[in-house]
Amino acid sequence: MHMADVLISVPVGLSMIGVATVALGYSIKQVEKEDNESKSVKMGILGAMIFASQMVNFTIPGTGASGHIVGTILLSALLGPFAAFITIASILIVQALVFADGGLLSYGCNVINMGFFSAFIAYPLIMKPILKRNLNKKNIMLASVITSIVGLQLGAVGVVFETYISGVSAFSLSTFLLLMLPIHLAIGLVEGIITGFVLQYLYSAKPNILAINNKNEVVFSKGNIIVLSSITFFIATVLSLFASSNPDGLEWSVSNANVNISDNISRVSLWFNQMQGKIAFLSGYNLNGSGDLTGTLISGIVGVIIVSLMIFALSKLGKWKQKS
Protein backbone atom coordinates (compact mmCIF):
# COMPACT_ATOMS: atom_id res chain seq x y z
CA MET A 1 0.00 0.00 0.00
CA HIS A 2 3.03 2.26 -0.32
CA MET A 3 1.84 5.26 -2.35
CA ALA A 4 4.12 6.79 -4.97
CA ASP A 5 4.49 10.55 -5.38
CA VAL A 6 2.86 10.51 -8.82
CA LEU A 7 -0.52 9.78 -7.24
CA ILE A 8 -0.76 12.89 -5.08
CA SER A 9 -0.55 16.65 -5.37
CA VAL A 10 1.96 18.79 -3.53
CA PRO A 11 -0.65 20.36 -1.18
CA VAL A 12 -2.02 16.95 -0.21
CA GLY A 13 1.47 15.47 0.23
CA LEU A 14 2.77 18.33 2.38
CA SER A 15 -0.44 18.47 4.43
CA MET A 16 -0.27 14.76 5.20
CA ILE A 17 3.40 15.04 6.11
CA GLY A 18 2.39 17.74 8.58
CA VAL A 19 -0.37 15.58 10.09
CA ALA A 20 1.94 12.58 10.33
CA THR A 21 4.67 14.70 11.96
CA VAL A 22 2.27 15.98 14.62
CA ALA A 23 1.04 12.44 15.34
CA LEU A 24 4.62 11.17 15.50
CA GLY A 25 5.72 13.96 17.84
CA TYR A 26 2.79 13.30 20.17
CA SER A 27 3.52 9.55 20.13
CA ILE A 28 7.17 10.16 21.01
CA LYS A 29 6.11 12.26 24.02
CA GLN A 30 3.72 9.56 25.20
CA VAL A 31 6.39 6.86 24.98
CA GLU A 32 8.87 9.10 26.80
CA LYS A 33 6.51 9.29 29.79
CA GLU A 34 6.82 5.55 30.30
CA ASP A 35 10.58 5.96 30.90
CA ASN A 36 11.12 2.28 30.20
CA GLU A 37 14.43 1.23 28.67
CA SER A 38 13.14 -2.21 27.65
CA LYS A 39 10.48 -0.71 25.38
CA SER A 40 13.13 0.82 23.12
CA VAL A 41 14.76 -2.58 22.75
CA LYS A 42 11.43 -4.25 21.97
CA MET A 43 10.55 -1.54 19.45
CA GLY A 44 13.86 -2.00 17.65
CA ILE A 45 13.70 -5.79 17.52
CA LEU A 46 10.02 -5.99 16.52
CA GLY A 47 10.40 -3.13 14.04
CA ALA A 48 13.27 -4.92 12.31
CA MET A 49 11.16 -8.07 12.14
CA ILE A 50 8.21 -6.21 10.61
CA PHE A 51 10.51 -4.56 8.06
CA ALA A 52 11.87 -7.96 7.06
CA SER A 53 8.36 -9.41 6.86
CA GLN A 54 7.23 -6.59 4.58
CA MET A 55 9.87 -7.71 2.09
CA VAL A 56 7.99 -11.00 1.64
CA ASN A 57 5.06 -10.45 -0.73
CA PHE A 58 2.60 -13.36 -0.94
CA THR A 59 0.43 -14.09 -3.98
CA ILE A 60 -3.32 -13.45 -3.81
CA PRO A 61 -4.73 -16.47 -5.69
CA GLY A 62 -6.78 -15.77 -8.79
CA THR A 63 -5.94 -12.09 -8.98
CA GLY A 64 -2.42 -11.69 -10.30
CA ALA A 65 -1.73 -9.44 -7.33
CA SER A 66 0.34 -9.82 -4.19
CA GLY A 67 0.36 -8.40 -0.70
CA HIS A 68 2.49 -8.21 2.41
CA ILE A 69 1.73 -7.75 6.06
CA VAL A 70 1.81 -4.19 7.39
CA GLY A 71 2.36 -5.19 11.01
CA THR A 72 0.82 -2.22 12.80
CA ILE A 73 -1.82 -4.31 14.60
CA LEU A 74 0.79 -6.81 15.77
CA LEU A 75 3.00 -3.97 16.99
CA SER A 76 0.07 -2.27 18.75
CA ALA A 77 -0.88 -5.47 20.54
CA LEU A 78 2.68 -5.95 21.82
CA LEU A 79 3.88 -2.36 22.32
CA GLY A 80 0.77 -0.22 22.59
CA PRO A 81 -0.45 2.18 19.87
CA PHE A 82 2.03 5.03 20.42
CA ALA A 83 5.15 2.87 20.28
CA ALA A 84 3.65 0.96 17.35
CA PHE A 85 3.07 4.20 15.44
CA ILE A 86 6.66 5.33 16.01
CA THR A 87 7.90 1.95 14.86
CA ILE A 88 5.88 1.82 11.63
CA ALA A 89 6.74 5.46 10.83
CA SER A 90 10.43 4.58 11.21
CA ILE A 91 10.10 1.59 8.91
CA LEU A 92 8.35 3.68 6.26
CA ILE A 93 10.94 6.48 6.22
CA VAL A 94 13.78 3.95 5.88
CA GLN A 95 11.92 2.22 3.05
CA ALA A 96 11.46 5.56 1.26
CA LEU A 97 14.97 6.92 1.79
CA VAL A 98 17.02 3.77 1.30
CA PHE A 99 14.92 1.58 -0.98
CA ALA A 100 12.68 4.11 -2.82
CA ASP A 101 9.70 2.06 -1.59
CA GLY A 102 6.97 4.69 -1.31
CA GLY A 103 7.54 8.31 -2.25
CA LEU A 104 9.07 11.04 -0.10
CA LEU A 105 6.25 13.48 -0.84
CA SER A 106 3.70 10.75 -0.12
CA TYR A 107 5.44 9.71 3.12
CA GLY A 108 2.79 11.35 5.28
CA CYS A 109 0.02 9.58 3.36
CA ASN A 110 1.73 6.23 3.86
CA VAL A 111 2.23 6.82 7.58
CA ILE A 112 -1.43 7.71 8.07
CA ASN A 113 -2.76 4.92 5.84
CA MET A 114 -0.51 2.16 7.18
CA GLY A 115 0.06 3.38 10.72
CA PHE A 116 -2.47 5.84 12.09
CA PHE A 117 -5.69 4.07 11.05
CA SER A 118 -4.59 0.75 12.52
CA ALA A 119 -2.83 2.01 15.67
CA PHE A 120 -5.25 4.75 16.71
CA ILE A 121 -8.60 3.64 15.28
CA ALA A 122 -8.77 -0.10 14.59
CA TYR A 123 -6.70 -1.23 17.58
CA PRO A 124 -8.36 0.81 20.37
CA LEU A 125 -11.91 0.53 18.99
CA ILE A 126 -11.90 -3.14 18.00
CA MET A 127 -9.02 -5.22 19.35
CA LYS A 128 -8.83 -3.78 22.88
CA PRO A 129 -12.58 -4.12 23.64
CA ILE A 130 -12.67 -7.71 22.37
CA LEU A 131 -9.63 -8.75 24.40
CA LYS A 132 -10.66 -6.84 27.51
CA ARG A 133 -14.00 -8.62 27.49
CA ASN A 134 -12.39 -12.06 27.51
CA LEU A 135 -8.70 -12.61 26.89
CA ASN A 136 -8.23 -16.07 25.44
CA LYS A 137 -6.77 -17.66 22.31
CA LYS A 138 -10.08 -17.72 20.45
CA ASN A 139 -10.65 -14.00 21.00
CA ILE A 140 -7.03 -13.20 20.15
CA MET A 141 -7.53 -14.74 16.69
CA LEU A 142 -10.95 -13.13 16.25
CA ALA A 143 -9.69 -9.70 17.26
CA SER A 144 -6.57 -10.01 15.11
CA VAL A 145 -8.51 -10.88 11.96
CA ILE A 146 -11.24 -8.27 12.35
CA THR A 147 -8.85 -5.51 13.39
CA SER A 148 -6.36 -6.23 10.60
CA ILE A 149 -9.12 -6.19 7.99
CA VAL A 150 -10.63 -2.94 9.28
CA GLY A 151 -7.21 -1.26 9.53
CA LEU A 152 -6.34 -2.15 5.93
CA GLN A 153 -9.79 -1.20 4.65
CA LEU A 154 -9.44 2.24 6.24
CA GLY A 155 -5.98 2.54 4.70
CA ALA A 156 -7.31 1.54 1.28
CA VAL A 157 -10.05 4.17 1.50
CA GLY A 158 -7.38 6.67 2.56
CA VAL A 159 -5.32 5.92 -0.55
CA VAL A 160 -8.31 6.38 -2.86
CA PHE A 161 -9.43 9.58 -1.13
CA GLU A 162 -5.95 11.14 -1.13
CA THR A 163 -5.52 10.28 -4.80
CA TYR A 164 -8.95 11.65 -5.66
CA ILE A 165 -8.61 15.01 -3.89
CA SER A 166 -5.13 15.45 -5.36
CA GLY A 167 -6.66 15.62 -8.82
CA VAL A 168 -3.42 14.74 -10.62
CA SER A 169 -4.78 11.47 -12.00
CA ALA A 170 -7.83 10.73 -14.12
CA PHE A 171 -9.82 7.67 -13.02
CA SER A 172 -13.24 6.36 -12.03
CA LEU A 173 -13.58 6.83 -8.28
CA SER A 174 -16.03 3.95 -7.89
CA THR A 175 -13.90 1.56 -9.96
CA PHE A 176 -10.72 2.38 -8.06
CA LEU A 177 -12.52 1.97 -4.72
CA LEU A 178 -14.16 -1.31 -5.76
CA LEU A 179 -10.76 -2.69 -6.69
CA MET A 180 -8.86 -1.43 -3.64
CA LEU A 181 -11.30 -2.68 -1.01
CA PRO A 182 -11.63 -6.36 -2.06
CA ILE A 183 -7.92 -6.89 -2.73
CA HIS A 184 -7.01 -5.36 0.64
CA LEU A 185 -9.76 -7.39 2.27
CA ALA A 186 -7.89 -10.50 1.12
CA ILE A 187 -4.54 -9.08 2.28
CA GLY A 188 -6.07 -8.08 5.62
CA LEU A 189 -7.47 -11.57 6.12
CA VAL A 190 -4.05 -13.14 5.59
CA GLU A 191 -2.38 -10.58 7.85
CA GLY A 192 -5.03 -11.10 10.52
CA ILE A 193 -4.51 -14.85 10.58
CA ILE A 194 -0.72 -14.46 10.76
CA THR A 195 -1.07 -11.85 13.51
CA GLY A 196 -3.47 -14.10 15.40
CA PHE A 197 -1.14 -17.10 15.34
CA VAL A 198 1.85 -15.01 16.45
CA LEU A 199 -0.08 -13.42 19.33
CA GLN A 200 -1.56 -16.76 20.39
CA TYR A 201 1.91 -18.28 20.55
CA LEU A 202 3.38 -15.36 22.50
CA TYR A 203 0.38 -15.28 24.85
CA SER A 204 0.85 -18.98 25.61
CA ALA A 205 4.51 -18.39 26.43
CA LYS A 206 4.00 -15.16 28.42
CA PRO A 207 0.38 -14.18 29.16
CA ASN A 208 1.39 -10.65 30.21
CA ILE A 209 3.22 -9.88 26.96
CA LEU A 210 0.15 -8.29 25.35
CA ALA A 211 -0.08 -4.54 25.85
CA ILE A 212 -3.57 -4.63 27.41
CA ASN A 213 -2.47 -7.23 29.99
CA ASN A 214 0.99 -5.86 30.62
CA LYS A 215 1.13 -4.58 34.18
CA ASN A 216 4.89 -4.87 34.39
CA GLU A 217 6.86 -4.36 31.18
CA VAL A 218 8.08 -7.65 29.78
CA VAL A 219 11.83 -7.49 29.26
CA PHE A 220 13.42 -9.46 26.44
CA SER A 221 16.10 -11.76 27.77
CA LYS A 222 19.35 -12.28 25.88
CA GLY A 223 17.93 -15.56 24.65
CA ASN A 224 14.77 -13.83 23.34
CA ILE A 225 16.87 -11.22 21.56
CA ILE A 226 19.06 -13.85 19.91
CA VAL A 227 16.06 -15.92 18.77
CA LEU A 228 14.08 -12.94 17.46
CA SER A 229 17.14 -11.48 15.75
CA SER A 230 17.86 -14.83 14.09
CA ILE A 231 14.26 -15.08 12.87
CA THR A 232 14.44 -11.52 11.52
CA PHE A 233 17.63 -12.14 9.54
CA PHE A 234 16.21 -15.43 8.26
CA ILE A 235 13.15 -13.64 6.92
CA ALA A 236 15.23 -10.81 5.42
CA THR A 237 17.86 -12.99 3.79
CA VAL A 238 16.06 -16.26 2.96
CA LEU A 239 12.28 -15.89 2.84
CA SER A 240 12.58 -12.57 0.98
CA LEU A 241 14.16 -14.47 -1.92
CA PHE A 242 10.82 -16.25 -2.44
CA ALA A 243 8.68 -13.10 -2.45
CA SER A 244 6.01 -12.90 -5.14
CA SER A 245 6.92 -10.78 -8.16
CA ASN A 246 3.26 -9.89 -8.77
CA PRO A 247 2.30 -6.22 -8.34
CA ASP A 248 1.09 -5.37 -4.84
CA GLY A 249 -2.53 -4.57 -4.09
CA LEU A 250 -2.20 -0.84 -4.79
CA GLU A 251 -0.22 -1.27 -8.02
CA TRP A 252 -2.69 -3.90 -9.20
CA SER A 253 -5.65 -1.62 -8.42
CA VAL A 254 -4.06 1.37 -10.15
CA SER A 255 -3.42 -0.71 -13.26
CA ASN A 256 -6.87 -2.30 -13.42
CA ALA A 257 -8.67 0.96 -12.65
CA ASN A 258 -6.84 2.56 -15.59
CA VAL A 259 -5.58 5.40 -13.42
CA ASN A 260 -4.08 7.89 -15.87
CA ILE A 261 -1.22 9.70 -14.18
CA SER A 262 -0.55 13.22 -15.39
CA ASP A 263 2.70 13.96 -17.22
CA ASN A 264 2.71 17.48 -15.75
CA ILE A 265 4.93 17.01 -12.72
CA SER A 266 5.32 20.07 -10.48
CA ARG A 267 8.75 21.37 -9.57
CA VAL A 268 8.25 20.37 -5.95
CA SER A 269 7.31 16.79 -6.87
CA LEU A 270 10.24 16.63 -9.27
CA TRP A 271 12.59 17.83 -6.51
CA PHE A 272 11.33 15.13 -4.14
CA ASN A 273 11.80 12.49 -6.84
CA GLN A 274 15.31 13.67 -7.64
CA MET A 275 16.28 13.71 -3.98
CA GLN A 276 14.97 10.19 -3.51
CA GLY A 277 16.89 9.04 -6.56
CA LYS A 278 20.12 10.39 -5.10
CA ILE A 279 19.57 9.09 -1.56
CA ALA A 280 18.06 5.62 -2.16
CA PHE A 281 21.23 3.60 -2.68
CA LEU A 282 19.35 0.28 -2.63
CA SER A 283 16.44 1.34 -4.82
CA GLY A 284 14.00 -1.50 -5.45
CA TYR A 285 15.79 -3.60 -2.80
CA ASN A 286 18.58 -4.18 -5.30
CA LEU A 287 22.24 -3.32 -5.59
CA ASN A 288 22.97 -0.99 -8.51
CA GLY A 289 19.69 -2.05 -10.10
CA SER A 290 21.08 -5.53 -10.70
CA GLY A 291 18.02 -7.36 -9.40
CA ASP A 292 20.15 -10.35 -8.34
CA LEU A 293 20.02 -12.38 -5.14
CA THR A 294 23.03 -10.58 -3.69
CA GLY A 295 21.20 -7.27 -3.86
CA THR A 296 18.19 -8.73 -2.05
CA LEU A 297 20.37 -10.23 0.66
CA ILE A 298 22.27 -6.98 1.20
CA SER A 299 19.01 -5.02 1.22
CA GLY A 300 17.55 -7.25 3.90
CA ILE A 301 20.58 -7.02 6.17
CA VAL A 302 21.10 -3.27 5.69
CA GLY A 303 17.41 -2.56 6.14
CA VAL A 304 17.14 -4.52 9.38
CA ILE A 305 20.12 -2.66 10.87
CA ILE A 306 19.02 0.83 9.78
CA VAL A 307 15.42 0.31 10.90
CA SER A 308 16.58 -0.82 14.35
CA LEU A 309 18.85 2.23 14.72
CA MET A 310 16.14 4.61 13.46
CA ILE A 311 13.54 3.29 15.91
CA PHE A 312 15.96 3.43 18.81
CA ALA A 313 16.91 7.03 17.93
CA LEU A 314 13.29 8.19 17.72
CA SER A 315 12.36 6.49 20.99
CA LYS A 316 15.23 8.35 22.71
CA LEU A 317 14.80 11.69 20.91
CA GLY A 318 13.06 13.52 23.73
CA LYS A 319 15.51 12.38 26.39
CA TRP A 320 18.48 13.44 24.29
CA LYS A 321 16.92 16.87 23.85
CA GLN A 322 16.42 17.21 27.59
CA LYS A 323 20.06 16.32 28.29
CA SER A 324 21.34 18.83 25.73
Give the count of beta carbons closer than 10 Å to the beta carbon of residue 157.
Answer: 16
> What was the pLDDT predicted at 275?
93
Residue 323 located in a structural domain: no
* CA distance to 25, 61, 126, per residue, from 1 (Å): 23, 18, 22
Averaged pLDDT, groups of 10, the chain, 324 residues long = 94 98 94 75 91 95 95 95 96 96 97 98 97 94 98 98 94 96 97 95 85 63 78 88 93 94 83 92 79 81 92 69 51
Query: What span, in angstroms and rounded, lies between the C-alpha atoms of 7 and 12?
Result: 10
What does the pLDDT look like over 257-307, one tens digit per residue? 999 987 778 889 999 999 999 999 999 888 765 557 778 888 999 999 999
Report the CATH number that the domain containing residue 68 is assigned in CATH. 1.10.1760.20
CA-nearest of 276, 249, 248, 251 to 105 is 276
Residue 189 located in a structural domain: yes
Find the length of the chain.
Answer: 324
CA-nearest of 124, 28, 108 to 72 is 124
Residue 324 located in a structural domain: no
What does the pLDDT look like over 101-141, one tens digit per residue? 999 999 999 999 999 999 999 999 999 999 999 999 999 99
Residue 160 located in a structural domain: yes
Question: DSSP secondary-structure letter at 220?
Answer: P
* CA distance to 31, 79, 119, 146, 232, per residue, from 128 (Å): 19, 13, 11, 12, 27
Residue 244 located in a structural domain: yes
Residue 117 located in a structural domain: yes
C-alpha dihedral over 214, 216, 311, 269, to 10 degrees? 40
Buried b (16+ CB within 10 A) or exposed e, 263-293: eeebeebeebbeebeeebebbebbbeeeeee
Answer yes or no: are the C-beta atoms of 304 and 285 closer than 8 Å: no
Answer yes or no: are the C-beta atoms of 184 and 2 closer than 8 Å: no
| Number of structural domains in the chain | 1
- Write out the residue range of the structural domain in which residue 54 sits: 5-318
> What was the pLDDT predicted at 14?
97
